Structures are given as C-alpha cells and as structure tokens.
Amino acid sequence: MKKLLFAAIFSMSLFADAKMLPSTPFSEIQKAIASGKRVLVEVGSDHCLSCQKMGKLFYTIKQEHPNFQIFFLNIEQNKDAAKKLQIMLIPTQILYEKKKEVYRHIGVLSKKEVIELLK
C-alpha cells in the first residue's frame, strides 16, 4: 500500500512540474494566422485544470515538433480576443489554415489527435 501511495504522489508531482505552453499576445497570433500557414490556437486559462492539461500537452508537442505553429491564448489576459474569437467554453482549440478557421474543438484532445491536425 505504501508503494502504491508513493507511486501515485510521485507521478502527480512529475505531472505538476511539467511545463505549459506560454501565453502569446493575440497580436502575434493574428500575425501567424495572417501568414496563411497552419496555426493551432489553444484558448484557455492558467486556472482551468483541463486547460493546464492541454497546455502541458502542447508544450510537449512543440518540443517534439518545433515547426508546428501552436499558440496558447490566456483568456484572463486577453478578454477582448476571447470575445472576438467567440469563445464559449475553455479549453477551446482553433485550427487556422490559409487565414481561415477550419476546425474548432471544445475540451481535451489526445496527443494523437493534435498531431493529426497539424500534419
């Protein structure tokens, strides 16, 4: 029982220490979208557990695939941008291609789903 408890606490602390994708100003995200390249925007908050999970996943994916254009938009710091993007719930992922929104998802995505979106 003690080994199981230790393993659970240890794994939780590893997850807690994982880095999140940093927040990007909306003006920089708009420039990336205007480039016409495929851009994935994660809209969320530092205080939302699902958003934290996605932020850590996107950080990991960005480390493995530095050519992917992935951005985190913190709605607490960008309330006007959240309104402009018509965000109803968080986390929300929005995929842009050729300057247009081509996909929107609310909730948590798996690593496999994110990689497929960005290929």
Domains annotated for the chain, with CATH where assigned, are 20-118 (3.40.30.10)
- What pLDDT digit, counting tens, does each position of 51-94 carry? 999 999 999 999 999 999 999 999 999 999 999 999 999 999 99
pLDDT at 17 over 80: no
Give the H or E element holding residue 43: strand 39-44
Q: Nearest CA to 36 among 113, 102, 93?
A: 102
Only one residue has tokens 């959240």, namely 82
State how far the Cα of 3 lies from the Cα of 53, in Å rounded to an integer. 26
pTM of the complete model beyond 0.85 = no
Query: Residues, the chain, total?
Result: 119
pLDDT reported for residue 74: 96
What letter does residue 35 receive in the DSSP assignment? Answer: T
Tokens representing 9 are 């606490």
